[in-house]
Amino acid sequence: MPLTAVMAGLIAVLVSGASNLPLFVQMFDAVNFTPEQSVSSLASMYIALALSGAALCLIFRAPIILGWNTAGLTVLIAEGPRFTPGETVGALLLAALILTLLGLTGLFDWIARHLPPPLAAALLAGVLLPFVLRGLTAIPTAPALLIPMLVAYLLGRAFAPRWAVPLALLAGVGAAVFTGAVHPGGALLNVHLTFIRPAFSVQAFVAITVPSVLLAVASQHLPGLAILSASGYRRVPPRPLVALTGLAGLLAALFGSITLNLGAITAAICTGPDAHPDPARRFVAGLTCAAGYLALGLNAGVVLGLVSVLPVPLLQGLAGLALLGPLLLGREGTMAAEPRWREAALLTLVLTASAFTWLGVSAPVWGLGLGWCLAAVRGWHERQLVSA
């Protein structure tokens, strides 16, 4: 048993959980899930990730790390209060169905070729920016909790980058316990998968489904495939990866799960030489990650119960710090663009970050659409000048 690969898989589970559990708590509150529905959502997501991830690792003998759409979580937090739980589930069900069809039909390859990377990066940055700012502005409301957490994060980024978020979590929890800010939580619920009857609306499709699909493709699937390719796993075909994760998400969405996809940031932990010098043995890291997901899914009630005792400013601050890394990736993607794409990317970023909704269309859709239009018009104008 390659112990370094096992450790890499466990680190991936720890980093992903510490980074996103505060966002899940906020999301469940925003979409008005009951405690039972919240546990069902988290459990179904982790179990689906565990089973499909383990199957892919064994089939392709590669460290295929699956995850959830982190940016999609922020979309649900922003847009969820407008809809009923059934409408939210219906929108997530349609997103999973679309992703499944993209994988089965090969349309994913077409989208990958035609989705402008600068606008995709700007969309990601615009979705995440408000949550990073919200986390930082929470510091004055609870400095005794958030300053130790911020210091731990900065030290972690300087000396042990992959441990920065878990260290921040430990520092924040320690400060909360020391200052007496931990509040008694509710009962620790047992895990029961609760069917949530989906309802469908055009408004939820535009506000939740469309951004979820675009963000899953742009911020998760494409980077995840790029990481696999860069690590030497070019023989792994993208079509079954996209199709199977979409199908797993389709089944899990009936119980409240969010969109599932390839991992990106956590995948880098398990696919490089740090996981194991021999690429043929790194798939053990993927299996370990799947086992960790399964353990979290079977204990989802305990996990949510433990997180819910923490004060809200602490959860907001931790979420903001955890999203700094993905936000940096989005910003770098916009700055590396050609001149005609830079202003369009900036427009996409600011419109998306504004979080406004008009005519039933949410900010991410407006941002991507208007940014694309601006780039197209500028490109047409430049071609006219050259031909003249």
Report if residue 187 sits inside a domain.
yes
Distance CA 225, CA 64 (A): 9
Distance CA 329, CA 342 (A): 15
Report if residue 364 sits inside a domain.
no
Q: Say what the pLDDT of residue 90 is.
A: 96
Total Cβ atoms within 10 A of residue 315: 21
Distance CA 51, CA 330 (A): 30
Report if residue 375 sits inside a domain.
no
Structure tokens at 309: 């005792």
Kindly give, in sequence order, each residue whose CB lies less than 8 Å from that of residue 7, ignoring residues fewer than 6 positions away. Answer: none
Structure tokens at 7: 């450790």
Report if residue 388 sits inside a domain.
no
Report if residue 351 sits inside a domain.
no
Q: Say what the pLDDT of residue 185 is.
A: 60
Distance CA 43, CA 49 (A): 10
Report if residue 369 sits inside a domain.
no
Structure tokens at 11: 């680190």
Regions of the chain short of the pLDDT cut 70: 1, 184-188, 329-330, 332-338, 359-362, 388
Distance CA 97, CA 243 (A): 9
Q: CA dist 40 to 54, 188, 302, 339, Å?
A: 21, 13, 12, 47
Report if residue 374 sits inside a domain.
no
Range of the domain at 310: 3-338
Q: Say what the pLDDT of residue 362 is.
A: 67
Q: Structure pTM?
A: 0.79
Q: CA dist 42 to 80, 82, 303, Å?
A: 17, 21, 9
Report if residue 179 sits inside a domain.
yes
**Relative orientation angle of helices 164-179 and 3-30, to the nearest 10 degrees:** 60
Structure tokens at 235: 């023989």
Number of domains in the chain: 1
Distance CA 220, CA 208 (A): 17
